[in-house]
């Protein structure tokens, strides 16, 4: 065992080796990625203002999340360019945890509408860790259960497991599907998360509620951290009985009532929660080109092969 191995965990070494392969991955990105992954719970609690030290450490938080300039670039990039979730319906989320082969789709510009962090690269996609949700963990009375964040593939799954052994558990793909279905039943939204500091690519599926989720709250208050699924909800006026279920469960406050359910398409993220909660089958998802392209894994994999 070398001296280096005594101080650096294997998963950390694997993370930085993978970072060496990423073009343009700066020293700042390496530090940011390590800090974010190593101290996820503190990072999120500080970033959402839920930690007692949030105000005192505001300059440090701002350094990582408010914006920075990269060499050769004239514009500042901030949190909204680097940390994003793509809203996905249950079917898409299920595909992501059931994929049984490596995936290498390096540029998803037409699907993930951000300047950075839009690669879908899955190494050992069957390596899945259920992580206690950092957003829920930061709350006094969080939604339960806590272990609903799914970290998928390497080097991320091993890194999170090795550094947070008391807050993680290894699960199978079928167990991941069970978590997704249970969260869908609770009316929570599935997001495929991408982050520049996390090697510029997809690394996790979070199951989000508006009462706890930092990303949903930031999005609703004007920080565009989330991208639409590419769909919007539509209501069949002949079937709607104005039961109110859809409005109750909508995490984006996109549904109101005027005799029948009315969808505010500007707010609708196309998550599909209202579809599963409509007891009359009056709501469905409609493809909406202005909302961007869906993250359809099977189609993207076929295109990558061609």
Residue 13: per-residue pLDDT: 95
d(CA 268, CA 254): 5
Where the chain has pLDDT below 50, the residues are 1-4, 54, 66-67, 69-81
Instruction: Tell me the chain's radius of gyration from C-alpha atoms.
Output: 19
State the pLDDT at residue 45.
83
Beta-strand (E) ranges in the chain? 83-88, 103-105, 120-122, 128-131, 149-152, 168-171, 189-195, 201-208, 226-227, 231-235, 255-258, 260-263, 283-287
Distances (CA, A) of 168 to 30, 245, 273: 23, 33, 27
Helix (H) or strand (E) holding 43: helix 40-47
| pLDDT for the residue numbered 146 | 97
Residue 297, φ and ψ in degrees, nearest 5: -60, -50
pLDDT at residue 49 in the model: 64
**How far apart are the C-alpha atoms of 205 and 97, rounded to whole Å?**
9
Rounded to whole angstroms, what are the CA distances from 229 to 2, 46, 219, 270, 293? 47, 28, 14, 5, 7
What integer pLDDT is reported at residue 113 of this predicted model? 86
- The H-or-E segment that residue 300 falls in is helix 297-305
* SS3 (DSSP) at 112: coil
Task: Write down the pLDDT at residue 61.
Answer: 54
pLDDT value of position 90: 96
Whole-prediction pTM: 0.88
The domains of the chain, with CATH numbers, are 8-228+291-305 (no CATH), 231-287 (3.30.70.20)
pLDDT given at position 55: 54
Q: Would you call 269 exposed, middle or buried from its count of C-beta atoms within 10 A (0-12, 13-18, 19+)?
A: buried
């Amino acid at each position: 065992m070398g001296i280096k191995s005594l101080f650096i965990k294997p998963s950390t070494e694997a993370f930085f080796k993978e970072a060496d392969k990423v073009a343009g991955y700066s020293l700042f990105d390496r530090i940011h990625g390590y800090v974010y992954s190593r101290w996820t719970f503190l990072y999120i609690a500080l970033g959402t203002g839920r930690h007692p030290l949030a105000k005192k450490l505001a300059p440090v938080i701002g350094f990582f999340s408010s914006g920075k300039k990269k060499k050769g670039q004239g514009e500042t990039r901030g949190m909204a360019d680097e940390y994003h979730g793509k809203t996905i319906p249950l079917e898409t989320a299920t595909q992501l945890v059931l994929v049984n082969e490596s995936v290498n789709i390096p540029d998803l510009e037409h699907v993930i509408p951000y300047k950075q962090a839009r690669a879908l690269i899955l190494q050992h996609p069957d390596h899945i860790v259920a992580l206690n949700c950092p957003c829920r963990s930061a709350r006094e009375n969080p939604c339960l259960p806590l272990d609903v964040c799914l970290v998928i593939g390497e080097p991320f799954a091993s890194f999170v497991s090795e550094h947070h052994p008391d807050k993680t558990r290894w699960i199978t793909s079928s167990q991941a599907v069970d978590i997704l279905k249970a969260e869908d039943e609770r009316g929570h939204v599935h997001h495929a998360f991408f982050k520049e500091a996390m090697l510029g690519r997809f690394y996790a599926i979070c199951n989000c509620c508006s009462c706890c989720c930092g990303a949903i709250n930031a999005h609703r208050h004007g920080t565009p951290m989330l991208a639409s699924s590419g769909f919007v909800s539509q209501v069949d006026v002949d079937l709607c009985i104005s039961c109110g279920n859809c409005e109750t469960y909508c995490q984006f406050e996109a549904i109101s009532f005027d005799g029948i359910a009315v969808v505010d398409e500007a707010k609708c993220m196309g998550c599909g929660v209202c579809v599963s909660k409509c007891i009359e089958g009056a709501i469905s998802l409609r493809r909406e080109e202005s909302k961007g392209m869906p993250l359809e894994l099977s189609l993207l994999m076929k295109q990558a092969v061609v």
